[in-house]
Chains A and B, each alone.
Chain A
Amino acid sequence: MAERVVITATGIISALGTGKDTHISAIRNLRSGVNGVSLLKSVHAHEFLLGEIKKSNDDLAVIMGLPTGDNGYTRTTLLCLAAMNDLLQNTDITLLQNEPFAFINANTVGGMSKMEDIYMDVLTVGADERNNKYINTLDCAESTENVAAHYGLKPIMATISTACSSSSNSLILGARMIKQGLVKRAVCGGGDALSRFTLNGFYSLKNVDKMPCKPFDQNRGGLNLGEASGFCLLESESSAKARGANIIAVLSGYANTNDAYHPTAPSPTGEGARRTMQQALDMAGLKTTDIGYINAHGTATQNNDLSEGLAIQTLFGTNAPHFSSTKPYTGHTLAAAGVIEAIFSMWAMEERIVIPNLNFETQMEELSIKPVSGLLENVTIDHVLSNSFGFGGSNVSLIFSKA
């Protein structure tokens, strides 16, 4: 039997702050990071609420010891650096220097947050040459290569982009590489910075709520966008134990499937989501009753929550485990959503809490189940399931179990 894959460190930055303590404190105090806009320069800035990280690019550069101003780093890269920096607070970097490891990153629009500001300029004859250093930042691989280079690391690298399931796929790829014995360790995750491009994209799809989002609520009106980055250190169980590492959780099951239904909408019956969760359970060798908490994708769009809610109800029955969407805390952080919610899921198990689905008020008519609306403490959770679903019919479920 292939070796188990465990998680031994996490790194995270979101609208709730940086690192575990800040996040757990915000979660316990029901403090949402979704607020008015102060950094994104959009004509709609005053109309929307965003899960914006209230640190400017210069603030982030200072934290990382980088020059401020036009330093060639996009916000996407800076957020990834901040998350990696958090991970390395609790991880000996020599683990990543002395043996081959994989670095699997993910994002949806590369350095669009910078490119959208300079695009018309770089098209013009005689354009400002100082912008040339940003030209390749539209590549999704830019942040991956820059983070590795910043720490002088030479990992096997990959960058994934499957819309809102992207960084969940990073964890799957890293786990598969470890199981096949290609590497002992893999740093897996992703990051997305807010951009006008993405905000207007979802706005033009009429998927954005101008009020705080209400996942799984009858009166939900769409998503709030956010930005974040997160990474997990995945490791073979034997190498984690050999070095006496603190094992946060076991990645016991995962599945990647496709709806094969519609470019942007999930199948209304939730068939695709149900199949994905079932396959992850099968891999983990678990029954539905083993799952103590589901961190749902729960974007608060009409389509997702109906489809995902029906999928949970069909698979788990009307006596479904505690479930919630944590997007009212962070906003929908797109490519980062998978990994930061995977981290939240592991923390829920560690801290013995069920994270509430903020803003929930009204039961959905189509469902007989409803999300957990208040914080639950002292809950024994042995297995958690985390869902991420994206455009292109891309579905991913991850299951974490107690070590």
Chain B
Amino acid sequence: MRQPLYILSACSISPQHSYDAENFLNPVVTTDDGKLRITAPDYSKYISPVAIRRMSRMLKAGITAGMKSLEMGGVTTPDAIIIGTARGSVTDMETFLKDMINLQEEALNPTGFIQSTYNSVNGWLAMMTRSTCYNQTYVHRGFSLELCLFDAQLMLSESQDKKYILAGGFDELTDEYVIIRGRIGYYKEQKLNSLSLLSHNDTSGSVAGEGAHFFTLSNNPENAACAIHTVQMLLKPTSEAVQAAIADMLAQNELQKEDIDVIMCGMNGDSRSQFLVDPVVNDCHEHTTITTFKQLSGEYDTASGFGLWLVNYLFTQKRIPEEIVYKKGTSTRIKNVLLFNVTILGNVTLMLMTTPPARP
């Protein structure tokens, strides 16, 4: 699909100070315990005090990131709400599951059951924006957010009308989640500071993270900082398949390797996926600056949402913060950016982004 998705606004609730982006990386938030938890903003702007007490943490984060993204994009009622989450509100699932086990299935409070439903953030955002239009939830592991963008591209290809879509992703970190996924090698066993994650790519696993990232998308380029042109999802690819997909993507968009100013690289410090990362990093053109983000976000299924937010941030700020530079290139502009993400399961997603309005 060639339909550009113009990003009108982006809002991220992450471990970093991304919600109030003027304080981004000031200071850099790090952890030594392997768990990068979100820096929670004041939720009372969009959520009533009663609801704040009742809602679980990721519902609040998802709703707030979604509402703020719309507000920043100047959209009151979107034409679609499309959300990706690999595991929804994990806290609610755990609460209901453990109550069920411990109370032997008697006298259970349904709140956890209701809120753990994967489309509950979708429902809340529809209610709060009075959006009775298209509403969809993708729950496909590390492709969850990318499927939202794919759907948004599909939707904008279906109509010539100006449309405004709220798309986003969220996933949650809990102590139990880390214990359970830790059993199958998701996280590093050694103690390290999260900021040094990527220099420990000789051992398996990553640092756990969480976040909620929402984007107001449109086929109308007015006021957009950048556009997503192509979204690719590769299931357990070989390194050659990744290289071929990148080459295809560049060719489709009539770009050469040297035209890529920035590769936003979602390397996660996991030795098992380094074979997918190395060729991308090593074979890039000298113009290209490689930046990284998982040392700031931690690893989770929709972490590419933080990467996408960060690319949008580069386009809006027109500069690259030193803290995220992995390899400095000679290009001084930010025009064409490749977002390259790798997941723990060895899946890869790619997005080609440029400055609006037209393709270069």
Partners in one complex: yes
CB distance A44 to B97 under 8 Å?
no
CB distance A391 to B123 under 8 Å?
yes
Q: Which of A44, A173, A258 contacts B132 (CB 8 A)?
A: A258
CB distance A108 to B117 under 8 Å?
yes
Any chain A CB within 8 A of the CB of B138? Answer: yes
Give the residues from 40 to 83 in chain B that come closer than 8 angstroms, CB to CB, to chain A: 81
CB distance B135 to A160 under 8 Å?
no
Give the residues from 36 to 60 in chain A that come closer than 8 angstroms, CB to CB, to chain B: 42-44
Instruction: Please report the C-alpha to C-alpha distance between residue A391 and residue B126 in the assembled complex, in whole angstroms.
Output: 12
Q: Name the distance in Å between B129's Cβ and chain A's nearest Cβ.
A: 8
Instruction: Please report the C-alpha to C-alpha distance between residue A201 and residue B116 in the assembled complex, in whole angstroms.
Output: 10
Interface window among B30-38, B175-183, B277-285? B175-183
CB distance A257 to B132 under 8 Å?
yes
Q: Is the interface of B mostly helix, strand, loop or mixed?
A: mixed
Any chain A CB within 8 A of the CB of B335? Answer: no
- Nearest to A43 among chain B residues (CB) is B105
CB distance A139 to B135 under 8 Å?
no
B228-263 contact mask (Cβ, 8 Å, vs A): 1 or 0 = 000001010000000000000000000000000000
Q: Name the distance in Å between B287's Cβ and chain A's nearest Cβ.
A: 32
Q: Known interface pairs A122-B180, A123-B179, A394-B122. Does A138 touch B87 (Cβ–Cβ under 8 Å)?
A: yes
CB distance B183 to A135 under 8 Å?
yes
CB distance B138 to A263 under 8 Å?
no
Q: Name the distance in Å between B66's Cβ and chain A's nearest Cβ.
A: 14
Q: By CB atoms of chain A within 10 A, which of B100, B124, B143 has the most?
A: B100
Contacts of A108 in B (CB 8 A): 117-118
CB distance B140 to A135 under 8 Å?
no
Q: Known interface pairs A176-B158, A262-B127, A264-B114. Does A272 touch B136 (Cβ–Cβ under 8 Å)?
A: no
CB distance B132 to A275 under 8 Å?
yes
Q: Name the distance in Å between A202's Cβ and chain B's nearest Cβ.
A: 8
Contacts of B108 in A (CB 8 A): 200-201, 203-204
Q: Known interface pairs A141-B140, A162-B136, A257-B135. Does A176 touch B154 (Cβ–Cβ under 8 Å)?
A: yes
CB distance B135 to A392 under 8 Å?
yes
Any chain B CB within 8 A of the CB of A177? Answer: yes
Q: Known interface pairs A122-B183, A158-B143, A163-B117. Does A145 touch B132 (Cβ–Cβ under 8 Å)?
A: no
Instruction: Please report the C-alpha to C-alpha distance between residue A163 and residue B108 in the assembled complex, in whole angstroms.
Output: 20
Q: Name the distance in Å between B345's Cβ and chain A's nearest Cβ.
A: 8
Q: By CB atoms of chain B within 10 A, which of A43, A260, A275 has the most?
A: A260
Interface residues on A, range: 35 or more
Q: Which of A43, A122, A132, A160 contacts B136 (CB 8 A)?
A: A160
Any chain A CB within 8 A of the CB of B131? Answer: yes
Q: Which of B96, B131, B134, B181 contacts A260 (CB 8 A)?
A: B131
Contacts of B86 in A (CB 8 A): 139-141
Q: Which of B81, B126, B132, B235 contacts A157 (CB 8 A)?
A: B235
Q: Name the distance in Å between A55's Cβ and chain B's nearest Cβ.
A: 24
Instruction: Please report the C-alpha to C-alpha distance between residue A136 and residue B96 in the assembled complex, in whole angstroms.
Output: 19
Any chain A CB within 8 A of the CB of B226? Answer: no
Instruction: Please report the C-alpha to C-alpha distance between residue A391 and residue B235 in the assembled complex, in whole angstroms.
Output: 30
Any chain A CB within 8 A of the CB of B109? Answer: yes
Q: Known interface pairs A122-B180, A200-B105, A256-B134. Does A162 touch B140 (Cβ–Cβ under 8 Å)?
A: no
CB distance A116 to B154 under 8 Å?
no
- Nearest to B127 among chain A residues (CB) is A260
- Nearest to B344 among chain A residues (CB) is A136
Contacts of A161 in B (CB 8 A): 88, 117-119, 137-139
Contacts of B176 in A (CB 8 A): 123
Contacts of A139 in B (CB 8 A): 86-87, 139, 141
Any chain B CB within 8 A of the CB of A261? Answer: yes
- Nearest to A2 among chain B residues (CB) is B158
Q: Known interface pairs A138-B87, A141-B141. Does A263 touch B183 (Cβ–Cβ under 8 Å)?
A: no
Q: Name the distance in Å between A293's Cβ and chain B's nearest Cβ.
A: 26
Contacts of B140 in A (CB 8 A): 140-141, 144, 157-159
Q: By CB atoms of chain A within 10 A, which of B86, B132, B134, B235 has the most?
A: B132
CB distance B97 to A256 under 8 Å?
no
19 contacts between A and B (CB under 8 A): A43-B105, A127-B183, A157-B143, A182-B1, A197-B96, A197-B97, A203-B108, A205-B113, A257-B132, A258-B126, A258-B132, A259-B126, A259-B132, A260-B127, A262-B127, A391-B123, A393-B127, A393-B135, A394-B123
Q: B: which residues have CB within 8 A of A?
A: 1, 81, 86-88, 96-98, 100-101, 104-106, 108-110, 113-114, 117-120, 122-124, 126-127, 129-141, 143, 147, 150-151, 154, 157-158, 176, 179-181, 183-184, 233, 235, 345
